[in-house]
Amino acid sequence: MNDFPAGWATIILAVIALVALGAAYGQVSSARKNQREANADALWRNYLRLAFRHPKLADPGLEPHLARFDYEALTINGDPELFQQYEWFVDFVLDSCERVLELDSSEEWNETVRTQLDFHWDYLHSDHYQHSGYLLHHKRKFRELIQDVLSHPPRRRRWGTGAAQEGRSG
């Protein structure tokens, strides 16, 4: 009869160890998730600071003159330096979007990224961008997201060729 309580004690200790291991795993997983979310937020704040400093690059539809891209001459309004700045800005946007989604692929972040890609729909949809090889700088999953966004008309009001045009809603 003496072995019966010792056997139960061993079982109880094993169960307690498993519960403690499960709790520790849960805490580590939760800490990792919180860290990923914090990293995504910090990365996005850096992007927003840049967009705030350069609103014409962040949203070329704000002013009609930025909608006049010349993809053959690689200029915006005849200015090759502005075109180059815009390309670097879009590269930063895409890199930020891709990294945010790697850290947190929630529906909210997915929609936020789609909105940002939509701001640059004309450029991303251009033959210049499509044939530049820039898409290959991104992982397959993100390239597919870009192509999905580009497969629909832009969702927001655009300046286009001087007159505002309505894109798809919602």
**Measured between alpha carbons, how far is 117 from 166 in angstroms, rounded to an integer?**
17
CB-based contacts of 135, cutoff 8 Å, min separation 6: 129, 143, 146
- Which tokens go with 101? 């989604």
Contact call for residues 139 and 147 (beta carbons, < 8 A): no
Q: Are 157 and 122 in contact (CB under 8 A)?
A: no
Residues 110 and 142: their CA atoms lie apart, in Å, by 11
- Position 53 scores a pLDDT of 93
The pLDDT tens digits for 101-137 are 998 889 999 999 999 999 999 999 999 999 999 999 9
Mean pLDDT of the chain: 82
Residue with tokens 């290959």: 136
The pTM assigned to this predicted structure is 0.72
